[in-house]
Amino acid sequence: MKYTFCPPKYKKLAKSSLIVLYTMVLFLSSCIDEPDNPQIPGVETSQIAAVRDWFETNKTKLRLPERGSNFRTESQELILPFFEKEPDWDKFHHYYFPDGREVFETSLENATKYYPSEMSEIFVGENPADFMIQNIMFVRHETLDQFNVVIARYYPGDNESKANFDEISYNAIPVLWNGKLELFTYDERFFVGFQFEDGKIEFSYTRAVYEGDKKHSQEAMDVRCVTNYYPVGYQVCVGENCHKVIERYVSEENCFGSDGGSPSYVYSGSGSGSGVRDPATDGGGSTCSSCYDPPELPEPKLTISLDKSIKENARARCIVSKLALSSFVNEMAEFTDAEGATSNSILKLASLPSDINGQVENINGIHQISINSGILNRPDLLIARTILHEMVHAEIYRALKSNGITPLDDDFAYNFDSYVFLRTRGDSGPQHHAYMAEQLLGKMGAALMEIHKTQFPEDYQKFNQYMNYTKGIPLDFYKNLFWEGLEGTKAFDIMSQMPGTTMGKSPFENYKEDIGNAKNLMTKPCGN
Amino acid sequence: MWKLILFTSILAGQFSHVNQRKILFVVIDDCEKWDRGSYRPGTSHFSYTRKGREFPLISFGHAWIDEADQLTTDRSTYSDILKSDYVFTSDLSLDEWYELGNDPDRRIFLLPPEDYCSAKRFVYNYQFTVYEVRVHVSASGNDLAPLEIPIAPIPAVDTLRRKKNN
């Protein structure tokens, strides 16, 4: 049986209508631009509005909390003058990182701009601020309702690479683009830079301040700014090759060309500047090293909240309280009984695999330092050592996030990047341990020695007397205690291969003996 | 009366649990793999450390610096040891070594290699001296969990490049 859906007399009309309709759809759809990434403007607008609301609510909290000391002036890292950011919310890119995190990259065009002075040498007679791109990236947190905020600055390396906002973004570098892309934290700490050639990353780099010529005259610059600029020397390391560079970052608020002093262009920013100034009275040609008064920024620190498991365990509590009195620990961290917002780390007891004394993991931005509850029957000093070792891991993580400011090492960025990171690509563990073995063993050993002497004096006396050390327990003994867990590092391999002398054992034999003696002989009165 | 007996036996059971941790005999049977070390002259203190560079590092110590931590000795025949909880060092897996090093609930008594690898083992009812020891097994360096890094990754330059305007 044959079914018909419309009477024969309407068939022709229906066919014609369908043809007309299909043709109209074809015409209409051909008029619509097909973007690279299909977007729904209405949805994106509401999304960027949500980002803006979050930013307006939280922008005062994005900088490190005030704590009194001034690291911005004393640190050995590149930190540019901070300015309040007012993104241009009408201009934004919306994309996703390869790991799935959502990103909104908005323009900071109408704000104070920073660029390296080398741009002035490339683009003679031009104002680099006119064509460099300065954006602010909001990277949505994977689990929390918040964003990580990063400043991205794109510095074209030649005329062909000048681009406007729409043509370049962090996930879309133009083909054949030459130049530099640098990332800064929200409060203007240099994070990492990438050198691009022909649209491809040639290398990444960091900048560590070195003591060099900081008095480069402003006359040498083609762009004379009446505004702030930030003269510093840097050691730029690419791979294992480092070279010194005299550079400065220019803060663009009101600038004039160098052609006879008449203002060829004027840029008014929304930073600390107050509009257009007179180049004559503002001294466009003078050295401007004092123009910038760095804002106060607190010394970053580990703030370790003590978990209930620590507070309620007499031994753990006792050992932590003694550690807190050590000057080494005090410089690096402070312990608090309070839980929550103010701490960036938590110390707790946990049931861990028996081959691990302690562990550090990052959960939602908080360093969770876990001490194996199974090791509490060990001597006090060895538990203190384990807590110290894990705290240093947490501090390394914190320092890496804070662009290298840490009491552990005045030259952390340089040492970690060029000396350790490049030798141990891959997981964090080998990198941290290599850094500890290469850079921190002496410091950690000395700290443990001080803790032993001052916080566990009875144990120190008994052990010293028993082992019959004539000049007190040597520093090497404490360093040997810290070798445990650092096996597999290059430094450990070198140490373990060193031969013994005719007078004594090899360093490896001493290490074995010391670590065994500590475990088998030292006492555990704390909290017992 | 029966209640009193029951209460007494429960109480006794509780105290015996406190005072008597389980005992494990460790027999060093791979005798050639261990170095004996001594401490202060005039004491019976000693250590056994596993030879070589193999990890984990393992040592047994029968020594103390504080009288409160004094370790004991006992005497036992080989057959009595085999009737108790015992392990041979050559049989222990990596995990078992770590377990041994981290077990606060057991007292460990060592039968030294010089005794085990001697003819004494075959002397009928020979009374060995077994030594209470502490064990050190060095930890591994796997103490960092994978990290969530809240920073931007290197740009994905090969995926979304745009054509340059010329």
pLDDT tens digit string along A12-23? 665 666 566 655
For an interface test with B, the pick among A194, A355, A494, A517 (most B C-beta atoms closer than 10 Å) comes out as: A355
Distance between CA atoms of A523 and B40, rounded to whole angstroms? 17
Instruction: Determine the distance in angstroms separating the CA of A95 from the nearest CA of chain B, rounded to an integer.
Output: 10
More confident residue, A38 or A501: A501
CB A173 within 8 A of CB A142: no
Quote the pLDDT of residue A340.
Answer: 57
Q: Exposure pattern of A229-256 as b/e (b: 16+ CB <10 Å)?
A: bbbbbbbbbeeeebeeebbbbbbbbbbb
- The residue that leads in pLDDT, A5 or A54, is A54
Q: Which SS3 state, helix, strand or coil, does residue B81 take?
A: helix
ω into B56 cis (within 30 of 0): yes
Mean pLDDT to the nearest integer, A360-371: 87
The amino acid occupying position B42 is G
pLDDT band at A342 (very low <50, low <70, confident <90, very high): low
Q: Are A117 and A140 in contact (CB under 8 A)?
A: no
B68 and A523 in contact by Cβ < 8 A?
Answer: yes
Report strand pairing: A229-238 vs A200-209.
antiparallel
A394-427 pLDDT tens trace: 998 888 777 677 888 888 877 777 556 656 655 6
Helix axis angle for A314-323 and A380-401, nearest 10°, is: 60
Tokens of A471: 């000049």
Looking at the DSSP assignment, which residues form a beta bridge with residue A369? A347, A360
Interface test with B, best of A93, A166, A512 (most B CBs within 10 A): A512
Q: Band of the pLDDT at A102, cuts 50, 70, 90?
A: confident
Contact between residue A229 and residue A248 where contact means Cβ atoms under 8 Å apart: yes
Share of chain A above pLDDT 70, in %: 65
Residue of A nearest to B56 (CA): A355
Residue B156 φ/ψ, nearest 5 degrees: -85, 75
* Residues of chain A numbered 184-223 and touching chain B (CB < 8 Å): 191, 194, 196, 199-201, 204
pLDDT digits (tens, 9 = 90+) for A171-221: 788 878 899 988 888 877 777 778 888 877 777 776 655 444 333 344 444
Binary contact (A172, B161; C-beta < 8 A): yes
Quote the ipTM score. 0.79
Distance CA A485, CA A479 (A): 12
Cβ neighbors of B60 (< 8 A, separation 6 or more) are A520, B26, B47, B48, B108, B110, B133, B134, B135, B136
Evaluate if residue B107 carries a pLDDT over 80.
Answer: yes
Helix-strand-coil split of chain A, %, nearest 5: 35, 25, 40
Whether A428 and A414 have beta carbons less than 8 Å apart is answered as no
- pLDDT higher than 80, residue A68: no
Spatial distance between the Cα atoms of B61 and B71, rounded to a whole number of angstroms: 10
- Can you tell me the distance from the alpha carbon of A421 to that of A433, in angstroms, rounded to the nearest whole number? 11
What is the C-alpha separation between A386 and A316, in angstroms, rounded? 12
Residue B157: what pLDDT?
39
Taking an 8 Å cut-off on Cβ atoms, the answer to whether B139 and A170 are in contact is: no
A150: chain B residues, CB-CB within 8 Å: 151-152
> Are A97 and B68 inside 8 Å of each other by CB?
no
Q: Which residue of B lies nearest to A518 if distances are taken between CA atoms?
A: B136
One-character DSSP codes across A421-482: ITTS-S-HHHHHHHHIIIIIHHHHHHHHHHHHHHHSHHHHHHHHHHHT-TTSS-HHHHHHHH
Taking Cα atoms as reference points, which of B25, B41, B51, B40 lies closest to residue B112?
B25
Candidates B95, B140, B152; nearest CB to A356: B140
CA-based nearest residue in chain B for residue A151: B152
Q: How far apart are CA A457 and CA A190, in angstroms?
A: 44
CA distance A499 to A509: 10
Where are chain A's structural domains? 41-282, 304-521
At A169, is the pLDDT very low, low, confident or very high (cuts 50, 70, 90)? confident
- Looking at the complex, does the CB of residue A358 fall below 8 Å from at least one CB of chain B? yes
pLDDT at A254 over 80: no
CA A310 to chain centre: 30
What residue of B is the nearest CA neighbor of A357? B139
Which chain A residues contact residue B134 at CB under 8 A? 519-520
- CA-wise closest residue to A204 among A398, A406, A412, A425: A425
Q: Which of these ranges, A165-174, A345-354, B140-149, has the smallest mean pLDDT?
A: B140-149
Mutate to test the interface with B, among A101, A508, A520 (most CBs of B within 10 A): A520
Average pLDDT over every residue of A113-134? 82
pLDDT of residue A303: 87
Q: How far is CA B30 from CA A108, B87, B91, B114, B115, in A?
A: 71, 12, 9, 11, 12
Q: Please tell me if residue B69 touches chain A, with a CB cutoff of 8 Å.
A: yes
B139 at A interface, C-beta within 8 A: yes
Task: Check pLDDT > 50 for residue A34.
Answer: no
Per the CB < 8 Å rule, is A365 touching B148?
A: yes
Largest CA distance in chain B: 106
pLDDT band of residue B71 (cuts 50, 70, 90) is: very high
B35 touches chain A (CB under 8 A): no
Going from the C-alpha of A258 to that of each of A125, A219, A226, B28, B109, the distances in angstroms are 7, 9, 12, 85, 86
**Residue bearing the bigger pLDDT, B95 or A122:** B95
Per the CB < 8 Å rule, is B59 touching A516? Answer: yes
Find, among B145, B139, B151, the residue nearest to A368 by Cα.
Answer: B145
Phi, psi values for residue A414, rounded to 5°:
-65, -50
Report the distance separating Cα A204 and Cα A236, nearest Å.
10
Mean pLDDT of A313-317: 96
- A268 vs A87, A115, A187, A255, CA distance in Å? 15, 16, 21, 9
Where residue A81 falls among pLDDT bands split at 50, 70, 90?
low
Chain A contact for B145 (CB, 8 A cutoff):
yes
Burial of A432 (0-12, 13-18, 19+ CB in 10 A): buried
Q: Does A146 touch chain B (CB under 8 A)?
A: no
Q: Which residues are within 8 A (CB) of A146 and not within 5 positions of it... i.e. 6 or more apart?
A: A54, A58, A140
Q: Is B132 on the interface with A (CB under 8 A)?
A: no
The SS3 call for residue A380 is helix
Give the distance from residue B75's alpha carbon to the nearest chain A alpha carbon, in angstroms: 22
Could B157 and A522 be called an inter-chain contact, meaning their C-beta atoms sit closer than 8 Å? no
Phi-psi category of residue A136: left, alpha or beta, with phi > 0 → left and psi -120 to 50 → alpha: beta
Residues B33/B39/B42/B43 CA torsion (nearest 10 deg): -80
Of A226-235, A363-372, B134-143, least confident by mean pLDDT is A226-235
Is residue A72 very low, low, confident or very high in pLDDT (cuts 50, 70, 90)?
A: very low
Q: Do β-strands A133-140 and A147-156 pair in parallel, antiparallel, or remain unpaired? A: antiparallel
CB contact under 8 Å between A359 and B61, yes or no, is: no
Give the helix/strand (H/E) hosting A369. Answer: strand A366-372
**Two structure tokens written together for B49:** 């450390």
Q: With 90 as the cut, is the pLDDT of residue A349 above it?
A: yes
3-state secondary structure of A79: strand
**Residue bearing tokens 């990754």:** B153
Q: In this complex, which of B69, B102, B136 lies closest to A354 when CB atoms are compared? A: B102
A429 contacts chain B (CB < 8 A)? yes
CA distance B48 to chain A (A): 9
User: Which of B48, B102, B149, B163 would you mutate first to test chain A, the one with the most A CBs within 10 A?
Assistant: B102
